[in-house]
A and B are shown apart, each in its own frame.
Chain A
Amino acid sequence: LAKTTQPISMDSYEGQEVNITCSHNNIATNDYITWYQQFPSQGPRFIIQGYKTKVTNEVASLFIPADRKSSTLSLPRVSLSDTAVYYCLAPSMEAGTALIFGKGTTLSVSS
């Protein structure tokens, strides 16, 4: 199971772009980089998932370089409501059912 490392916390202001980088040096061929978001007193929520290059949806973009040893979650123009904990995970397509959460990155957005 790939170990992921991400910053404990980040601060930003409304309207700024926020990039959260995740390191996963021992990522395996069948592992996918997956990000979840958790607001206080709520369950985690899937944001985005990718294997390589760039993935974009209505919420975020995910950049994965060719070596796949790191990835960057990009949140364009954050608002106060983006204040949450963001988790980087690397579940395998073939093995296991459990999502293994780390401590995540606590993003604080202020006005």
Chain B
Amino acid sequence: EPEVTQTPSHQVTQMGQEVILRCVPISNHLYFYWYRQILGQKVEFLVSFYNNEISEKSEIFDDQFSVERPDGSNFTLKIRSTKLEDSAMYFCASSEGLSAYNEQFFGPGTRLTVL
């Protein structure tokens, strides 16, 4: 069964450093997403992406965040200058259709720890 993969599974970084989280969406999906979940809290939407453009973003997704599809398979989330409060699980997802009505397939997540 096709699945979304994410690397690394755990990333530890110092405050102020840049991190790039990587995702490989399901191959025939065209719509990609990033969510985050701070420990013990809700899953929060960050951004959706289609056709090399951001479709929608939340208030969390400020200028410190950026997304990119550098090639035909990878989808990345970059945090330019990490803060302590960026520590969370980051989930990538992909879907066949753009609306939230369509099933989104989530990856296993990257646990980001900012020290």
* Interfacial chain B residues near A93, Cβ < 8 Å: 99, 101
> Pick the contact of B105 from A41, A46, A100, A104 — CB < 8 Å?
A46
A interface residues (Cβ-Cβ under 8 A, vs B): 32, 34, 38, 41-46, 49, 87, 89, 91-104
* Chain A residues touching B, majority SS: loop
Cα A44 to Cα B37 with chains together (Å): 11
7 contacts between A and B (CB under 8 A): A43-B108, A44-B106, A91-B100, A96-B99, A97-B31, A98-B45, A99-B45
Cα A52 to Cα B44 with chains together (Å): 27
- The digit string for B76-115, where 1 denotes a CB below 8 A from any CB of A, is 0000000000000101010000111101111111010000
Least CB separation from A85: chain B residue: B43
Cα A95 to Cα B101 with chains together (Å): 9
Question: Could you tell me which residues of chain B, from 25 to 58, have a CB within 8 Å of some CB in chain A?
Answer: 31, 33, 35, 42-45, 48, 55-56, 58
Given A41-B109, A44-B106: A98 and B100 interface contact (C-beta under 8 Å): yes
